[in-house]
């Protein structure tokens, strides 16, 4: 079998087009969606992610504000900026890029963001709302995965879903969204015994391990949908050394799976797209409430 490719670039282009129209309509109403992005320190990957987020905003007609702090910034200074942005009615979304330098209390920083502007969906109240099935901002990567499943017409209700990874950013909210959608969900992680015995039962396999090529064809149920959240580089000695790859060994997996996301061009573009979607949604709420 050769798997159907779930094209995150194509879906992303379509959704971003719709969001740009919505942003333009809101701007006409006097409420241009605005995202504030805070970057602390000199993590090179974070700098690239933030640059991509700001560029995507610009392309969609969303205003962006970027605040850079050095590695040795005072946490109080960053918290004061968050308080200022919380109080600014012209700002609809606030994002603090993670990870933060070690001296920061990450949880305290995330909790300082106003729940209604937490477009990353990392605030404990949004996490609680998600777990109770209440309306909330959902974390962007798992939310993007749900959109990919919807777009690919992948049945979720009643499906056996296996998520590998239990992070707050991907694994845990992914499990909650799939549960909400009616899947029977198993969460696997680094301490799971006999990982393959779980993955081989999965109709939907979401892989967020963070290491290259960990999931191989023999771990996949024939016809399953495989969603690869990984973003790594092929290791030294591999014929594609240095090029981008996921957590799944794509060549083999795509011979067994029924549908699969590529890396790059799968989940990655949808993460930023859902950030834009949450920001536009927050601006819409402000407009409907008569704000700006």
**Which residues form the interface with ligand GUN (CB under 6 A)?**
95-98, 120, 140-141, 169, 271
CB of 121 to ligand GUN, least distance (A): 9
Is 120 catalytic? The answer is yes
Is 88 catalytic? The answer is no
Active-site choice (22, 53, 172, 247): 53
Q: Which runs of consecutive H residues, i.e. helices, occur in the chain?
A: 8-28, 44-60, 75-87, 106-112, 124-132, 140-151, 171-180, 195-199, 250-256, 267-288
- Exposed / middle / buried, residue 242 (Cβ in 10 Å: 0-12, 13-18, 19+): exposed
CB of 141 to ligand GUN, least distance (A): 6
Residue number, 106 or 160, with CB nearest to ligand GUN: 106
Residue number, 169 or 220, with CB nearest to ligand GUN: 169
Residue number, 12 or 141, with CB nearest to ligand GUN: 141
Is 97 catalytic? The answer is yes
Residue number, 43 or 186, with CB nearest to ligand GUN: 43
- Both tokens of residue 95? 């994002």
CB of 44 to ligand GUN, least distance (A): 13
Distance CA 155, CA 203 (A): 9
Active-site choice (22, 81, 97, 147): 97
- Exposed / middle / buried, residue 72 (Cβ in 10 Å: 0-12, 13-18, 19+): exposed
CB of 206 to ligand GUN, least distance (A): 15
Active-site choice (32, 118, 120, 203): 120
- C-beta contacts of 76-82 below 8 A and 24+ residues apart: 78/38, 78/40, 78/104, 78/109, 79/108, 79/109, 79/112, 81/38, 82/38, 82/109, 82/112, 82/113
Which residue numbers are catalytic? 53, 97, 120
């Amino acid at each position: 079998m050769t798997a159907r490719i779930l094209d995150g670039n194509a879906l992303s282009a379509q959704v971003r087009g719709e969001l740009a129209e919505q942003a333009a309509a809101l701007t006409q109403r006097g409420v241009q969606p605005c995202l504030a992005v805070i970057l602390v320190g000199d993590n090179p990957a974070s700098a690239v992610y933030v640059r991509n987020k700001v560029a995507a905003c610009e392309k969609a007609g969303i205003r962006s504000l970027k605040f850079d702090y050095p590695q040795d910034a005072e946490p109080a200074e960053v918290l004061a900026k968050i308080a200022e942005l919380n109080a600014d009615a012209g700002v609809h979304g606030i994002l603090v890029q993670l990870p933060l330098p070690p001296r920061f209390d990450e949880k305290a920083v995330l909790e300082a963001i106003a729940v209604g502007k937490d477009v990353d969906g990392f605030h404990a109240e949004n996490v609680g709302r998600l777990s109770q099935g209440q309306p909330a901002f959902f974390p962007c990567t798992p939310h993007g995965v749900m959109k990919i499943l919807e777009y690919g017409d992948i049945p979720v209700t009643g499906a056996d879903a296996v998520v590998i990874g239990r992070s707050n950013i991907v694994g845990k909210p992914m499990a909650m969204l799939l549960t909400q959608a009616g899947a029977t969900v198993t969460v696997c992680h680094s301490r799971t015994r006999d990982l393959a015995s779980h993955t081989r039962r999965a109709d939907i396999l979401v892989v967020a391990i963070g290491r290259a090529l960990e999931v191989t064809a023999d771990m996949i149920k024939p016809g399953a949908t495989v969603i690869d959240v990984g973003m790594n580089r092929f290791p030294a000695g591999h014929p594609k050394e240095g090029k981008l790859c996921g957590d799944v060994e794509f060549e083999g997996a795509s011979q067994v799976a029924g549908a699969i996301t590529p890396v790059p061009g799968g989940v990655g573009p949808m993460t930023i797209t859902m950030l834009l979607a949450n920001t536009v949604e927050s601006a819409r709420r402000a407009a409907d409430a008569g704000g700006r």
